[in-house]
Structure 1
């Protein structure tokens, strides 16, 4: 997992060939005014705009998840937004089977930690990062960029 601000995104371009394309899209578009929904923004890149009310920790960790085929770049637009996190190798309580169609695997495990993203901060969540999001009070708007591995 990586947590940083958009100002420092260039430091991570070498980690994946599509990271530069993903952050270039963010820098070249008015992300604050993107409509809610899901959009292809390039080969192996999908942008999802999410708006909603923050949930409690207990409610959010019902969706404690990780992915096998994608890396998530989650960027805060309106927040703050709190995340739950635990390394995948420590998760031992699966919550159902892996969904290949949705590329998601859920767990019943409790998080090891919580962290918060504020406006123009991001988290890069790799397949080994089990996470739950949308924790907070009040409105949250964010974008998630799915980067195909």
Structure 2
């Protein structure tokens, strides 16, 4: 697989073949009440919720992860996410093992608007810049599910 996956929330279960722990994360997501101040653990990863206001697409850096697959689910509002393969980006901040993140600079290959009810899955080769806007800032609420590789 060579690209970030964009899909609807109800289709996420179909991606269990990528990693069987995805099912555990989705089960936990469906069982809990939203709490923006808490991290929820499950067998094979964890999840948390975020809310805020998007920043301009030109601000910030791309990020990528080695130990976790990201599943990002927009619960309310919308965001743009910029994507590029990490081999087309330049390292800005070296990989931090503790935080499982490398910060990268470069140009996006794809930019996608993610609306309420949509999700995207980022694998280790996916540089992604999330929580962005192009024309006007928007408010968002989302869940981030981290799946151990």
Instruction: Give TM-score, length-normalised by structure 2.
Output: 0.89
Query: 1:73-127 CA distances to partner (integer Å, 9 max, x unpaired)?
Result: 0000112111010011222x21021101100001121211200111121101000
- Following the alignment from structure 1 to structure 2, what is the Cα–Cα distance between the partners of residues 82 and 125? 14
- Following the alignment from structure 1 to structure 2, what is the Cα–Cα distance between the partners of residues 3 and 129? 12
The match for 2:95 among 95, 98, 105 is 98
- Following the alignment from structure 1 to structure 2, what is the Cα–Cα distance between the partners of residues 63 and 146? 20
User: Which residue matches 1:147?
Assistant: 147
Higher helix fraction: Structure 1 or Structure 2? 1
Structure 1 regions of 5+ residues with no counterpart? none
**Deviation (angstroms), 1:65:** 0.6
Structure 2 regions of 5+ residues with no counterpart? none
> RMSD value over aligned CA atoms?
1.4
User: Which residue matches 1:71?
Assistant: 69
**Deviation (angstroms), 1:144:** 0.6
The match for 1:23 among 22, 26, 31 is 26
